[in-house]
Amino acid sequence: MSQNLLFEKPDFVKLSKENALVDMHFHTQYSDDCKTKMSDVFKRAKELGVGVAITDHNAISGSLLACKKKGLFAIPGIEVTSKNDKDILLYFYSAGDLKNFYEKNILKKIRKHKKFRFNKTKLSVQEILSIAKDYNAISSLAHPFTIYPKKSFYYFNNKKRSDLINDLVAIEVLNAARKRKGNLASYGWAMSAKKSITGGSDGHRLKWLGNAVTCCKAESVEEFLESIRNKKNFVIGKESTVASKFISGLYIVKNKI
């Protein structure tokens, strides 16, 4: 099932017999729009039998804590927001590299909104991807067909930036917070551009954990990320219901105020 995209509820017990399963896009109390406690994430991940990449917005405290949790398969990660609101998911082979990347390149580049609990960096997409290439890391474009201004498909396909996609390793093709149409478009783009694929819940509420997972045969973070890089993984999951998305949207807005 290499590079396949499956729209079905993951059977964690069956899948975990031969694969490592990781929700590669999940938020916690360290994001500007989420209050999910790390202790609850650990408990829920153990119950489901899945790993997780904590990808908080321009923050790494949650990810570093996850990487220290015994018994949890955790991918060091972060979701970096560019100055024009495009989101890049970055996954590192070690927590040390994530910490170095953040402290050296992101921490002093964060720009906070004066009124709302919202932040982004002062870096362009080009700068983020260029810096990431200096590290042992995988870059994945989050939700390419989400709503404006975070919708990034047309940004990358502008003639002036035609070479920018070459700096991306992967494209997120299943985001449980998005619509099926957008996810299918993301997958089609990834295939035509010959990119690796990732998937995750984009969960801002605990109950979303595991709604979408990235799967491959791996026993370590390095093996897992190498499988993605070499296109030997697959993504499986289902988008959340309309009602659940609506509630989550209200939850996000409330947390931003």
Q: If pLDDT is split at 50, 70 and 90, which confidence band does 240 have? A: confident
d(CA 121, CA 82): 5
Lay out the sheet containing 196-200: strands in order across: 77-81, 87-92, 137-141, 170-175, 196-200
Per-residue pLDDT tens digits for 144-157:
999 999 999 999 99
Least confident of 72-76, 110-114, 183-187: 110-114
pLDDT of 248 > 90? The answer is no
pTM for this prediction: 0.93
Which among 176, 185, 172, 182 is positioned nearest to 212, based on CA atoms?
176
Domain covering 5-256, topology:
TIM Barrel (3.20.20)
Phi and psi torsions of 138, nearest 5°: -115, 130
Per-residue pLDDT tens digits for 35-77:
999 999 999 999 999 999 999 999 999 999 999 999 999 999 9
pLDDT, mean over the chain: 92
Q: If pLDDT is split at 50, 70 and 90, which confidence band does 251 have? A: very low
In the numeric block, which tokens belong to residue 23? Answer: 């929700």
Decide which of 112 and 188 is more confident.
188
